[in-house]
Amino acid sequence: MTTETTPRRFDVNEYYAMAEAGILTEDDRVELLDGEIFEKYTNGKRRLFDVDEYYAMAEAGILTEDDRVELLDGEIVAMAPIGSLHASVVAKLTHLFTALVGQRAVVWVQNPVRLGGRTEPQPDLMLLEPRDDYYSQGHPMPEDVLLLIEVSDTTVESDRGVKLPLYARSGIREVWIVDLRAEAVETYSEPEGDSYARTGLVGLNGELSPAALGDVSLAVRQILSA
């Protein structure tokens, strides 16, 4: 396992399409090397992208619905394939939270959250502040997130080492990492800088309760047992 992410690689046609769409301009001193776009004369620094450029790639057809990617701190990274156990746990969490929270939260499944100008991940599940428009006017922001959950198998180290600091830095108030291999849930709350002041580990025999919805609880065994 690794804390590194896998960048989305681009071919020459996509590279030139970025120029045609105005994403890359004459002011960009860049080159395409093995599918990655690097800034020249910077000793291997990747060209970073902001949210507007990320969406411009979709509008230009460079990124399509077939791309499973997310924007993390300016880098467009590939998301891991979803295995059957991962999908099953996300489905259980969705079912349980939908029944438990009712109208007190929006259950947001594998959809984006905008953490800043250069970061828009797609966590496995979030509980959001209720809104009449169900966020049709824009993706949720950190202050809208009551709880964020990542379900991790092969990605547990990158979820901890790459995503968790981004979540803390943006002020996401509570994060759970469901570690499928360890059959346990890591809990993080009280963000401070790029980490969390309060952490915990809840095993199969334990129970979980979101801090923002203290009367809501679910057993870890409900989530992880077949």
Q: What is the pLDDT of residue 2?
A: 43
Mean pLDDT for the stretch of residues 188-199 = 98
Tokens standing for residue 30? 């860049």
Residue 3 confidence class, pLDDT cut points 50, 70, 90:
low
Note the pLDDT tens digit of each residue in 49-87.
999 999 999 999 999 999 999 999 999 999 999 999 999
Q: How far apart, in whole angstroms, are the C-alpha atoms of residue 91 and residue 100?
A: 14
Bridge partners (DSSP) of residue 41 are none
- In degrees, rounded to 5, the angle at the alpha carbon of residue 153 between the alpha carbons of residues 147 and 156 is 65
Structural contact between residues 63 and 69, judged by C-beta atoms closer than 8 angstroms: yes
Give the rounded distance of the alpha carbon of 45 from its chain centre: 23
The residue with tokens 């950190």 is 142
The reported pTM is: 0.94
Q: What is the pLDDT of residue 166?
A: 98
Tokens standing for residue 138? 């824009």
Q: How far apart, in whole angstroms, are the C-alpha atoms of residue 164 and residue 177?
A: 9
Q: How far apart, in whole angstroms, are the C-alpha atoms of residue 143 and residue 226?
A: 34
Considering only 27-31, 153-157, 200-204, which range has the smallest mean pLDDT?
153-157
Note the pLDDT tens digit of each residue in 92-133.
999 999 999 999 999 999 999 999 999 999 999 999 999 999
